[in-house]
Amino acid sequence: MQFRILRNTSDALSDGPLQANLKHALGRSLTARAAAVSEVENWEELRSYARHIKKCTLRDLGRYLRQMEEQVQRQGGRVLWASDAREAVGHVLEIARTHQASTAAKSKSMLTEEIQLNAALEDSGIRPVETDLGEFILQLAGQIPSHIVAPALHMSRAQVAALFADKLQMEATDDVRELTETARRRLRREFLKADLGISGVNFGIAETGTVVVVENEGNARLSTALPRVHIALMGIEKLIPRWMDLPVFLKLLTISATGQRITSYVNLLNGPKRREEPDGPEHFYLIFVDNGRSAILKDDRKRQTLSCIRCGACQNVCPVFQSIGGHAYESTYQGPIGAILTPQLTTASDAPEHPFASSLCAACREICPVKIDIPEVLLILREQAVESRTGPRSERLAFRLWAFAMTRPRIYRLGEKLIRLAFRLGAGGMKRGPLAGWVRSRDLPAPAMESFRSWMAKTRGGRNGS
Amino acid sequence: MGRKEVLDRVEAATSHIVPSSLPSATPSFPKYANPIERFLRALEAAGGRWFAGLEKAGVAAAFENILAETGYDRIFWDDPSILEVAGLGGEGSGLPQGDSAARSLLQSRHPPGKFLTPIAVESVPRTSDQLSNLTITVSRGAWGIAETGTVVEESGPAAGRVLPAFAPVHVALLSAQRIVANSAELFQNLKPGESGSSLTLVTGPSRTADIEQTLIVGVHGPKRFYVILTS
């Protein structure tokens, strides 16, 4: 068992530039969101509605998946099903072979990060080009996203400038406009060359077979307009039942993610180009990806995890994420939603610390646009971790000791005395021993010199003075 | 292969649950006393530009303005009927089929010198070279949304996906009668399946804030987005 988050935390906390980047970016996102929410009179009603719709969808997911499949096929698209990452990647490679593709223009998709599609494409001689600016930066840097919505949020303009100077042979400048223009010029050539356009899916509308891709840059629009083949990969939980449900989800998503009333582009795609249309992809494939999701569906309390619309608001508001950033989690999904999603999508022993990387302050529950009770799921996962002994051994031991003492007043009192004694002997400044890691970046408050119990006995609750 | 496995697992996982019925009423969306006014303000807030309340002659003048502002001298379109709506010719018959036909039509309608720069018009460019040289594209907006300042661009026999997405400057012609209050109203009006393969809700120019949350307009799509609202 490895404790990666714990190890990464102290590095992240002492990384000055990272701390500055996090503070700047997350603060701005939260401010923009709050302003946009204040414009919406029935925000709470929208949240409750969306939560209810997601609940209904997940309870009857098989039916909606079949309905979506039928609608996409009716429009001339093909639907493929993948039970895990390997199968999903296999489908994409097979499509690439069928169409003799050598390059793919990719728009932002967390699911393709989850199944590590880029590595598989490269291994098969197909060049994937990330076209979202943030993802493009990360591809150049050889990094994974550190945030669901703003993947390169951990980097400063100076870091991006240095990267572009190194990899794109451009003159170093920290003018963001010039950096963006460089990416634009380079990626326009890629859009024109690409054989495949690969996108994620924000919402799949079962009733109409519509794939919804929400974005600001226009790269998803181009990835689904220019290449002759469009492949959309979709987690099976991304369904919504009806066309008329979309306006609510759209509003919740864009406001929660970036504080925009709507993003620059919302692409509603219904299969390949029609015969009479002048352009658009000739082939459209939709890949339904399970990869652990159906297992989450089983549990009545954990099922809500699959309601997530990937807005990133819980990451922005989380004091843990604000302090350590996304990379410290070493997983595709980070922050509060990542803390409950990661151990359920992978196996719990691959992410032993995720459910514990939270202070349970519940800010995530307050901000979630679909009202996922993240703390509730965290507690369930913690319970399971403890029961299955995948949690930290020292913590298990500490809690067992505590439970032992709490049920035996004499021993508890003795313990108190020992702790006071230890402090008198200088344990507060302890640089070694079991608490060393804890006190390195925190103060260890000394216990009161008198215990509550002895004060109570002496004063009868203050009635005897002092 | 994958299909049966995934569906079996999903159904096994949910077999113990009684499905709950979907609500029939959806939450309300805002209405506006003056939807056109709201549309224009919201479009501006998203970084879009507009010309409004125009008859045909005014539309042609708006194009002159756009040409002057952008410094471009060419306009591209998929939809030949644009010419008529834009007051640039047409009349429903003798639609320009290609480059030279359109150019001569334009020149016949507008005396030389009226445009700041000579205009060449082309239709349906498709090669990489042609696309790399796109300047201003024009399409007809199907609907407008007042709440957000959004224009709905629908693909169809005379409207592809590429031109409005790839050009550095895009102009949407929109009839003021097609502006609805909010996206819920829009979705009531749009019949999915009856429309083309692609429907895009466009709000202002392309933008990004991926580097230090600094807003930059024009990353992959149009750097400038204009709406010409016809009455």
Say if residue A183's pLDDT is above 60. Answer: yes
pLDDT at residue number B102: 38
Give me the pLDDT at residue A452, please. 86
Would you give the DSSP letter of residue B177?
G
Cβ contact, residue pair A75, B27, below 8 Å: no
* Chain B touched by A45 (CB under 8 Å): yes
Nearest CA in chain A to B182: A247
Quick check: pTM over 0.95? Answer: no
pLDDT band at B135 (very low <50, low <70, confident <90, very high): confident
- A131 contacts in chain B (CB < 8 Å): 220
- Are B193 and A274 in contact by the 8 Å Cβ rule? The answer is no
Which pLDDT does position A1 carry in this prediction? Answer: 47
DSSP A36-78: HHHH-TTHHHHHHHHHHHHHHHHHTHHHHHHHHHHHHHHTT-E
Helices (H), A194-267: 219-223, 246-258
Which residue is listed with tokens 């300047």?
Answer: B135
Q: How many residue contacts between A and B have a Cβ separation below 8 Å?
A: 274
pLDDT at B94 over 80: no
Model pLDDT for residues B9-25, shown as the tens digit of each residue: 999 999 998 888 899 99
Pairwise CA distance, residues B179 & B187, whole Å: 12
Listed ranges A325-329, A392-396, B109-113; the one with the highest mean pLDDT: A325-329
Phi, psi of A335, rounded to the nearest 5 degrees: 70, -165
Residue-wise pLDDT for A336-372, tens only, equals: 999 999 999 987 777 888 999 999 999 999 999 999 9
Is the Cβ pair B78, A226 closer than 8 Å? no
Residue A318 to residue A147: CA distance in whole angstroms: 12
- E-state strands within chain B: 49-54, 74-77, 120-123, 136-140, 143-145, 150-154, 169-175, 179-180, 198-202, 207-208, 216-217, 224-230
- Collect all residues of chain B within an 8 Å Cβ-Cβ radius of residue A137: 210-211
Q: Residues for chain B: how many in total?
A: 231
The fraction of chain A above a pLDDT of 70, given in percent, is: 95
pLDDT digits (tens, 9 = 90+) for A301-318: 999 999 999 999 999 999
The shortest CB-CB distance from B197 to any of A157, A242, A274 is to A274
Q: To the nearest whole angstrom, how far is the Cα of A408 from the nearest Cα of chain B?
A: 44
Pure H helices in A169-310: 176-193, 219-223, 246-258, 293-297
Let me know: does A283 contact A305? Beta carbons within 8 Å.
no
User: C-alpha distances in angstroms, A408 versus A398, A448, A452?
Assistant: 16, 21, 17
Q: Alpha-carbon distance A198 to A159, whole Å?
A: 28
Q: Higher confidence at residue A260 or residue B110? A: A260
What is the rounded CA–CA span in Å between residue A66 and residue A288?
11
What whole-number distance in Å separates Cα of residue A389 and Cα of residue A397? 11
**Are A381 and A370 within 8 A, CB to CB?**
no
In this complex, do A59 and B13 lie within 8 Å of one another by their Cβ atoms? no
Cβ contact (<8 Å) for B165 and A221?
Answer: yes
Rounded distance between C-alpha atoms, residue A403 and residue A19, angstroms: 38
Average pLDDT, rounded, for chain A: 93
What pLDDT, on a 0 to 100 scale, did the predictor assign at position A260? Answer: 96
HSE-CB at A416 with a 13 A cutoff on CA atoms is 15
Task: Check residues B163 and A248 and name the one with the higher pLDDT.
Answer: A248
- A187 touching chain B per CB within 8 A: yes
- Output the CA torsion B212→B214→B219→B225 (10° steps): 160
Closest by CA to A308, choosing from A256, A259, A265, is: A256
- CA nearest A78: which of A61, A92, A60? A92
Q: Using a CB-CB distance cutoff of 8 angstroms, which residues of chain B are in contact with residue A259?
A: none
Using the Cβ of A440 and the Cβ atoms of chain B, whether some distance falls under 8 Å is answered with: no
Which of A101 and A415 is assigned the larger pLDDT?
Answer: A101
Q: What is the torsional sign of CA A109, A112, A116, A120?
A: negative
Neighbour count for residue A88 (Cβ, 10 Å): 27
Structural element, H or E, at residue A366: helix A363-367
Q: What is the ipTM of this complex?
A: 0.89
The residue of A18, A31, A55, A262 whose CB has the most chain B CBs within 10 angstroms, and thus the best one to mutate to test that interface, is A262
Amino acid occupying residue A186? R
pLDDT at B122 > cutoff 50 = no
Spatial CA neighbour of A372 closest among A146, A47, A41: A47
